[in-house]
Chain A
Amino acid sequence: MEIDLNRFRAAFYEEAVEHLESMEAALLQLENSGEDRELLNTIFRAAHSIKGASSTFGIDQVARFTHVLENLLDRMREGEVLPTAELCELLLKATDVLAGLIQAEKNQTEIPEQVESVFHALQQYSSECAPSQHSTHPVPAIDPAASCQTWHIRFQPSPTFFHFGQNPLFMLDELQKLSQSFHSVANLSKLPSLSRLDPESCCMGWDIELTTSSPKHVIQDVFMFVDDDSSPAIELISHPETKTDDGISTQSGPPIRVSEPVSSDSITQPETRPSSGNTNGGPGASGERRSGDDRRSENSPPTKESSGPTSAAGSHETVRVDRERLDKMINQIGELVIGTSMVEQDWQRFHPDMESSALVQLGKIVRDLQEMSLSLRMVPIAATFQKMARIVRDLSHRLGKQVRFETEGEETELDKTVVDQIGDPLLHMVRNSVDHGIETPEERAAAGKSPEGVVCLRAYHQGGNFIIEIEDDGKGLDRDRILRKAIERGIVSESDNLSDEDIFGLIFSAGFSTAEQVTDVSGRGVGMDVVRRNVEALQGSISIRSVKGKGCRMIVRLPLTLAILDGLLVRVASDSYVIPLLSVVESIKPTSNGIQKVLARGEVITLRGEIVPLLRLDRILNLRQSCRENNDDLLVIVEDQGRKYSLAVDELLGQQQVVIKNLEANFQKVPGVAGATILGDGRVALILDINGLCGLATRSSAAADHSLSADQPIIAAEHHAV
């Protein structure tokens, strides 16, 4: 059993994190909207699921904590405790503690310090308004005569009920706990003869009559985790204030074969009948739970709750797949695409005049398949945005600012890898907006703005790119001040003619922390240069628009996926190379005297008055074959970190989307090469890393300085001697 459970532990941690996220999101909403039943239900469900699962896995700390949390939430749901700001704060803290506890359990590290204090605060809250209530009972003890209602529940589990690890007994147990009076009758009409009985399918149903003070949703919650086919029909049959225990006479269900009313203590009896024909104890494991006393024993885990994660409360269905397996499949499909185009080429070679409609069809299917496979990695950005909501809330409270956080387009999808890596830079930018952008309420009022500032996160697709905008209506960037600081620091000179965008871009330069210079608030260690580096590592770019006094908008442009790159395919000597399209500015054909030598070695071209160094790929890359050295060369102008270079190539082969494969997997990182890809003909083409190439160019020219002559053969000879 232990081993079995451990297999699911990883899934539990993952689920728990998701539950906590939804809890946090709902809490933040609750804080703004005040009382909202649906939100409370969401929070309660999340806590409930974590509690159930954690006790199944024997994580007592978490179970104990969630139990108290759940009690409090339940009281909130009943409207006995109101969601004040203070309480929301506590609950948010509780989700943090819970996340810490789960993390600690996962990594076997120390449990967070706050646990006890938050635990006691929760306990206090949940007992404050009803001191008599004992915490092990999830339902508030309201005056029993107050509002008792009698419900008829027809519970007919689907035959596959047991397959989901469900046990109807637990639900009956739970119902019984809710009720003042409880009668259930087993419906055995679907029970086959013993010889044909399949112990793994559920053939029984129950008609239950229940008198309880709990509202309908509490009853529904008992069946929260059952699949749709098994959902019970719950009807209100009476509303008597003085309902007594013999309410069985109001039985309204159809005739049933075994119509003996079963008392609450022998409720398990019908269940033991089918399982008596079941030699291995049956999936419901009813054998060990036959006696009523046993049912509440401490060591039996609440299976109903533990099965929660598998049935996921009827939301849209998802399958968890190991990322590595997914990547492997996507890779294989990429191969299939290449394989297909190789077959197509072969066909054309052998039957130049014939078109194979079958091949055309195949090609189409395969390409559709590839598109589909790539979309598998896409996830909505919503979860990342949600985390920001919490940051904004906490930070604005701490700084005494009023900030409204808005999101747009959070359903926009992006590659999972990018989503994982954009979190940190985004966090810095959002913190920046709240910290330095939005003013205090007094300042805002003085500037004639509403005291509440707005930070808006917006996501959308634009021409194959994913755009995230962080906009605030704060004081904006002070153009003159940035410029002054930059001149002071020697980053730019006074004579430079800079556009607004250039100046705002200066805050991304290393050592130009906005915290110290642009605003007076300081104290954060990470500057915007790190943000830019992170975004650029994702092949993205970032720009700023700002109007002083009105606000600031940062625009982050990201590729939709890191697995695919838009590239310009070029030929140098006999090999093809891919230049990332993002860095390509233009390609030109220089005039015969366009290329000029500097010190007989370096070469530059003049591009509309700008002097651009010329890099010859065959030399930088030390290729065995060299390309023709004549002025017919095509030049591709590329840009890296604001500096332009021109690369001499032999031929432009076209623009293409390529699937990136890394060289490190089987080899090592190669300077000047960002990765490799496999072309339609099955050959490997290297993807050039412009930044690395420029570094290489500098280094190789420095090396050439040591030799007497920088002619090609000598470099090559040196290289071979290495």
Chain B
Amino acid sequence: MSTATLSTSALSDMTEGGSQFLTFQLAEELFGIDILRVQEIKGLTHLTQIPNVPPYIRGVMNLRGTVVPVVDLRHRFSMPAATYNQFTVIIIVTVGQKVMGLVVDAVSDVLNVGDAELEQLPDLGCDIDTSFITGMAKSSDRLITLLDIDRLLGNHVTAQTV
């Protein structure tokens, strides 16, 4: 229950007058993240493994001299792993002071989401962690799951560094 109230407040924060989301694909689903948090989109490069970290952290990459950790979102969401192909990209996002990369199947579009098009996430009724989902948006005939980057990645980073 508490998660529901939290995500509502986050939702109202974000959508004053609507906002823009970068949408990307993981398996058959579309996801969106706040475009202001996206720093750039990179093609897949070499990732260096880091020992003894959760397996969804694929490794670190060299972003023009900065060492940036990269999270495989499929793995994070416990989706079946996919082989990386030419559409696989790394979305570089900022989480607080830190910079991280997200491996996704493909980026699709930048989407304007007005207040009216936003829906709260319904109770999915099963054992799924939805704390990092801010809501759903409708675009033409598809539903897009909007993600809260801070909750998705920040939790992990802060929880382990503190």
Chain A contact residues, CB within 8 Å of chain B? 331-332, 334-335, 338, 575, 620-624, 661-673, 676, 678, 682-686, 696, 719-720, 722
The CA of A663 and the CA of B161, in the complex, are separated in Å by 12
The CA of A722 and the CA of B53, in the complex, are separated in Å by 9
Residues in chain B near residue A623, CB distance under 8 A = 49, 51
The CA of A696 and the CA of B50, in the complex, are separated in Å by 14
Question: B66 touching A676 by the CB < 8 A rule?
Answer: no
Closest chain A residue to B161, Cβ basis? A668
Question: A682 touching B46 by the CB < 8 A rule?
Answer: yes
Question: A684 touching B51 by the CB < 8 A rule?
Answer: no
Q: Which of A332, A668, A670, A683: most chain B CB closer than 10 A?
A: A668
Interchain nearest-CB distance for A497 vs B (Å): 38
Residues in chain B near residue A334, CB distance under 8 A = 65
B22 interface residue (CB < 8 Å to A): no
B9 interface residue (CB < 8 Å to A): no
B11 interface residue (CB < 8 Å to A): no
- Cβ contacts B11-44/A at 8 Å (1 or 0 each): 0000000000000000000000000000000000
Residues in chain A near residue B161, CB distance under 8 A = 664, 668-669
Can you list the 5 inter-chain pairs with the closest CB atoms, starting with the nearest?
A621-B51, A335-B65, A684-B48, A667-B69, A676-B67
Question: A624 touching B54 by the CB < 8 A rule?
Answer: no
Q: Which of B67, B68, B100: most chain A CB closer than 10 A?
A: B67
Question: A666 touching B46 by the CB < 8 A rule?
Answer: no
Contact A670:B48 (CB < 8 A) given known A683-B62, A684-B60 = no
Residues in chain A near residue B62, CB distance under 8 A = 678, 682-684
B160 interface residue (CB < 8 Å to A): yes
The CA of A622 and the CA of B54, in the complex, are separated in Å by 11
Question: B157 touching A670 by the CB < 8 A rule?
Answer: no
29 sample A-B contacts, Cβ–Cβ < 8 Å, listed by A number:
A331-B65, A335-B65, A338-B65, A621-B49, A621-B52, A665-B67, A665-B98, A666-B66, A666-B67, A666-B68, A666-B99, A667-B50, A667-B60, A667-B69, A667-B157, A668-B157, A671-B51, A672-B51, A673-B50, A673-B51, A676-B48, A683-B48, A683-B62, A684-B48, A684-B59, A684-B60, A719-B52, A722-B54, A722-B55
Contact A686:B100 (CB < 8 A) given known A338-B65, A666-B69 = no
Question: B49 touching A624 by the CB < 8 A rule?
Answer: yes
> A696 contacts which of B46, B52, B98 (Cβ < 8 Å)?
B52
B89 interface residue (CB < 8 Å to A): no
Residues in chain B near residue A670, CB distance under 8 A = 50-53
Question: B65 touching A666 by the CB < 8 A rule?
Answer: no
Residues in chain B near residue A332, CB distance under 8 A = 65
Residues in chain B near residue A684, CB distance under 8 A = 46, 48, 59-62, 67
* Besides A667-B67, A667-B157, A676-B48, 20 other A-B contacts (C-beta < 8 A): A331-B65, A332-B65, A575-B48, A621-B51, A622-B51, A662-B67, A663-B50, A665-B98, A666-B98, A667-B98, A673-B51, A678-B67, A683-B62, A684-B46, A684-B48, A684-B67, A696-B51, A696-B52, A722-B54, A722-B55
The CA of A670 and the CA of B53, in the complex, are separated in Å by 8
Residues in chain B near residue A669, CB distance under 8 A = 161
Closest chain B residue to A683, Cβ basis? B46
B64 interface residue (CB < 8 Å to A): yes
Contact A686:B65 (CB < 8 A) given known A665-B98, A666-B99 = no
The CA of A332 and the CA of B51, in the complex, are separated in Å by 27
The CA of A470 and the CA of B100, in the complex, are separated in Å by 46
Closest chain A residue to B57, Cβ basis? A667
Question: A661 touching B67 by the CB < 8 A rule?
Answer: yes
Residues in chain A near residue B52, CB distance under 8 A = 621-622, 670-672, 696, 719
